Structure 1
Amino acid sequence: MRIVAARELQDWLAHGTVLEKDSRGPKVVLLPDGLIFKVFHNRRRRWLARISPAAKRFARNAGTLDSLGIPAPTIVETLWLDREKGLSACTYRPLPGTSLEALLRENPAEIENLIPALATFILRLHRNGIYFRSLHLGNLLSLPEGGFGLIDFLDLVKKRRRLNGWEAKRNFNHLRRYLERRKITNFPIDRLTEMYSTAARNLQPPSSDR
């Protein structure tokens, strides 16, 4: 991981467009060259963040998704902003698409049309052992060429086996709580879970004749 000089960081923040920030400062910045600069503010003990920096975990998850053929941003570089404090960052090429939350605001009828394909996409994640706690409408993109992609996947976990029924239900419960927190009432979550169950049944291997 490269250590970013203070002057370089200042230049990025001065000439970039801040897309997301909090009380600690900018979190996501669009750079003039079209790359995204993402800061991972430390939520762990400093020594742990130094051993396993968030930027590295984010890049590893991006690689995992790419190996499975699941669209995700392409990581360009992982960076140290303050190694002593465990503060890391990365730059990446953004994934073109529209978040489902934005699409729901702009064209709710289109969401209804996407539900069968979305259910199949989530089932594909689960069958590949992907448990994504932050699987919600802001992190799911509808892609211009069709299909879906993922962003902001720091907390993604790749298991060695497919998710079981309890884990899949828990993942959908995270989505339900997200909708409640955001006060989103017009997303067809029940239809999504029904379509997911239907897709899962259709993928079950046929029972052998005895």
Structure 2
Amino acid sequence: MWRIVPLLSVLIGALCPAAQGRPPLDVNDTQQQYQADEHSNVTLTVLCPVNSSSDWLNIDLMIVEPLRSIYLYDSRFQPDPHTDDQFKGRLQCDPQLRNGMVECLLSDLRLSDAGRYQWIVATKGRSNLTKLELVVRAVMSQTQEEPSKPTERERIGLYMAVGLLAVIIVCLYLGNIITFCNFTRLIPVEISCLRDNLSQKN
């Protein structure tokens, strides 16, 4: 419930400016787009029409689908910023305006972080809504990009196996040649013996 109170105060002020004494909510129709790689960091920046003399600042960074606040800061009701569990430890915003800018650093990007966001930044008498889109590019791991290379020991073992196989093939080939040569030498001897046997019988 405490998260809704600051947002309602901003929306009521935007819809009922006369009652709150502030102008309607200014909507920036130009959607900012940020692109970054998975596991990298990105800085989200919004330019605010801020009343520098105001002692009240409300920052509400929301993700659109599904609509929920991921960072909420209200100097009146919530001096300690609230960060959504999905972004806790990864989203850090500077509530101190610098040259009318609000910056949020989102680190260790995930593919699930991609989507549409919107800021509502309000001070006493002025408020602004800015839309932005975050595109997160998937990065393939090194093991997926390149096949694992064999180590030096594996390469030596592979060379030895190939060399041994080549030696075995050569030995088998030479053995067959020697066997064939010996066989061809024995044929005339066998024929001569056969002729001698036949002549003796006759």
State whether TM-score is above 0.5.
no
Higher relative contact order (CA 8 A, sep 6+): 2
Q: Name the TM tier (shorter chain).
A: under 0.3
Who wins on radius of gyration, i.e. which is larger? 2
Normalising by structure 1, we get a TM-score of: 0.19
More helix by percentage: 1
More strand by percentage: 2
Normalising by structure 2, we get a TM-score of: 0.19
